[in-house]
Amino acid sequence: MGSLYFDHAATSPTRREVIEAMLPYFAEFAGNPSSIHTFGQKAKRALDDARRTVADLLGARPAEIYFTSGATESNNIAIQGAARSYAQFGRHLITSAFEHHAVLHTFQALEKQGFQVTYLRPDSQGLVRPEDVEQSLRPDTILVSIMLANNEIGTIQPVKEIADMVRRRGILFHTDAVQAVGKIPVHVRELGVDMLSLTAHKFYGPKGVGALYVREGVEIAPLFFGGHQEGALRPGTQNMPGIVGLAAALRLACQEMEEESTRLRRLRDLLEQSIIERIPDVHINGHPEQRLAHISNVSFAGLDGEALLLALDMQGIAVSTGSACTAGSTDPSHVLRAMGVDPVLARGSIRFSLGRDNTEEDVRFLIEVLVTAVSRLREMALAGV
């Protein structure tokens, strides 16, 4: 058995068809889409095509799609930009306590600039309650940002309900939809959001390219200056191979969504059922139904998640203890903490995130390795080694 990758929520490999689509834009069609000559116009057409593809797949208009360097940038442009533009109407912002750090740290930076932020705790199953959002709204609230699907436990948030309620009061709503795009249907108008962030490498596109949807009529202040590109909201020469790759990857992910999510749900259920049957003292984190098909977060009582991660890695198996961005820190996951999971139990948690390259045989091998590794680590912990 070679190496097995079960960390697709951290990043996914760029698929072959996407690489093929990108290749001509490195050299053959390397024009700058802002140039007037034929080389430039060829690139401009590819840029327009990619924008139309992404817009169509998200139910948006092409002019509402802005290409960026990824979701961290999209989140920053959306949240900081909206806060700056609307500060004259109030300085209160709302988000959840279990957002990705690209959202959380942006809000923390805004607190230092004089904004007040309410960080809502999800319930014990990892869902943000719309009534909690409603109760925390104030006359000076200008922006609410709640993720569409959580990256550590996969729960799908009631974003449509929250967005409807927030926007009825004339308050802006943003969602970090990184984990949901390409996995479940995401339609900006049905969701009723003002802004939505995504990144290509979570759906088998290249790293370093993403997009931000901004509803027509929503004015946000740019963070960067220097050119007219991307409606001057994100100036700078576009990452053409990346943008072409993002569009190709999104198209494929949407085409295969139903079939692939059914397959992954089956594999995830096999994994979880086997863990429950064969390993004592385990707890599956998150909501049993209201979640993505490919993510499973499991707490193994009495052991250290990082030790288990390393034991699996020695067998060529890649998993995660939380989000990749917090790897190396010994604090238990902020997501599980926000949900009220016992910190000791949270420390023994592992996120398995399945993907296109995983087969049933892979999952069965993972289970065998896991059963052995968990019992060995627990024995060592008991012996005080």
Ligand X SMILES: *Cc1c(COP(=O)(O)O)cnc(C)c1O
Query: Which are the catalytic amino acids?
Result: 325
Euclidean distance between CA atoms 112 and 93, whole angstroms: 13
Least Cβ distance, residue 147 to ligand X (angstroms):
6
Least Cβ distance, residue 178 to ligand X (angstroms):
4
Edge-to-edge, what's the strand order for the sheet holding 210-214?
A: 65-68, 210-214, 195-199, 172-176, 141-145, 92-96, 116-120
Residue keyed to tokens 């949901």: 180
Pick the closer one to ligand X by CB: 46 or 147: 147
Q: Does 71 contact ligand X by CB under 6 A?
A: yes
Pick the closer one to ligand X by CB: 353 or 377: 353
- DSSP-derived pairing of the beta strands 92-96 and 141-145: parallel
Pick the closer one to ligand X by CB: 89 or 224: 224
263 Cβ contact list (under 8 Å, min separation 6): none
Beta bridge partners of 7: 353
Least Cβ distance, residue 10 to ligand X (angstroms):
7
Least Cβ distance, residue 384 to ligand X (angstroms):
37
Do 246 and 55 contact (CB within 8 A), yes or no?
A: no
Least Cβ distance, residue 120 to ligand X (angstroms):
16
Q: Does 178 contact ligand X by CB under 6 A?
A: yes
In the list 12, 106, 145, 151, the residue contacting ligand X (rule: CB under 6 A) is: 151
Pick the closer one to ligand X by CB: 58 or 373: 58
Q: Does 72 contact ligand X by CB under 6 A?
A: yes
Q: Does 179 contact ligand X by CB under 6 A?
A: yes
Q: Does 176 contact ligand X by CB under 6 A?
A: yes
Q: Does 80 contact ligand X by CB under 6 A?
A: no
Q: Does 174 contact ligand X by CB under 6 A?
A: no
Q: Does 100 contact ligand X by CB under 6 A?
A: yes
- DSSP-derived pairing of the beta strands 116-120 and 92-96: parallel
Q: Does 106 contact ligand X by CB under 6 A?
A: no
**Segment interacting with ligand X, rule: CB under 6 A, options 53-61, 69-77, 258-266, 299-307:** 69-77
235-271 exposure pattern, b = at least 16 Cβ within 10 A, e = fewer: eeebbbbbbbbbbbbbbbbbeebeebbebbeebbeeb
Most distant CA pair in the chain, distance = 73
- Which three-class secondary structure state does DSSP give residue 105? helix
Angle subtended at Cα 186 by Cα 181 and Cα 191, rounded to the nearest 5 degrees: 135
Least Cβ distance, residue 325 to ligand X (angstroms):
8
Pick the closer one to ligand X by CB: 118 or 145: 145
Euclidean distance between CA atoms 374 and 376, whole angstroms: 5
For ligand X, the binding residues (CB under 6 A) are 70-72, 100, 102, 147, 151, 176, 178-179, 199, 201-202, 210
